């Protein structure tokens, strides 16, 4: 076939039609684009597993909310709300528990109190819990603080009176020796 035919000529000189390759800048640009491509791949993967991603996100949000709730509850503790009341509480608690221990050493018959009255003598009865909750919700309320102190003092007075009566009926020393003998 003659070389003068257009198609034949092009095919036979095909390589001579080729130019040099692209300048280096083309690859440099591509290389730069390939770096954010990694990020894109992560987004694509997230898209493919969107349900799992959403579930993980919900769990994470829940965890954060539960943590914050616990932190809030901790912050609401009496120690954080009113340090001076916590101090008063510790003092009166020690005093009241000491008296209650002494009272418990006397026989029930001598004490002459039914179970309801005994419950009232306990340190953290319903009245006390109401006052403490009120103080946590209203940390700066002086009336509540005063009421709590008054509560402690009344309880102490009451316990002292009971103890006084008990001692009159049966001195503590004798009771203690009986108790020790039982052990």
Q: How far is the CB of 15 from another protein (least distance, A)?
A: 10
Binding mask 87-126 for another protein (x = CB under 8 A): ----------------------------------------
Q: According to the binding rule CB under 8 A, does residue 140 interact with another protein?
A: no
- Which of positions 25-64 make contact with another protein (CB under 8 A)? 25-27, 29-31, 33-34, 37-38, 41
92 close to 98: Cβ distance less than 8 angstroms: no
Eight-class DSSP state of 122: S
Binding mask 3-22 for another protein (x = CB under 8 A): xxxxx-xx--xx-xxxxxxx
CB burial of residue 88 (10 Å; 0-12, 13-18, 19+): middle
Cβ-Cβ contacts under 8 Å for 37 (sequence gap 6 or more): none
152 close to 88: Cβ distance less than 8 angstroms: yes
For residue 124, give the H/E element and its range. none
Nearer to another protein, 22 or 140 (CB): 22
Footprint on this chain of another protein (rule: CB under 8 A) = 2-7, 9-10, 13-14, 16-23, 25-27, 29-31, 33-34, 37-38, 41
């Amino acid at each position: 076939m003659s070389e003068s035919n257009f198609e034949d000529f092009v095919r036979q000189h095909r390589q001579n039609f080729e130019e040099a390759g692209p300048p280096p800048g083309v690859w440099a640009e591509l290389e730069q684009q390939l770096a954010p491509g990694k990020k894109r791949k992560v987004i694509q993967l997230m898209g493919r597993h969107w349900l799992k991603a959403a579930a993980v996100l919900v769990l994470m949000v829940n965890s954060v909310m539960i943590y914050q709730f616990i932190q809030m509850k901790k912050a609401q503790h009496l120690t954080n709300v009113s340090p001076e009341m916590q101090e008063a509480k510790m003092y009166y608690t020690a005093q009241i528990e000491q008296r209650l221990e002494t009272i418990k050493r006397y026989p029930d018959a001598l004490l002459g109190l039914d179970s309801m009255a005994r419950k009232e003598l306990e340190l953290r009865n319903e009245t006390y819990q109401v006052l403490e909750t009120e103080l946590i919700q209203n940390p700066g309320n002086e009336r509540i603080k005063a009421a709590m102190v008054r509560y402690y003092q009344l309880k102490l007075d009451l316990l002292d009176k009971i103890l006084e009566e008990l001692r009159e009926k049966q001195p503590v020393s004798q009771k203690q020796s009986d108790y020790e003998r039982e052990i």
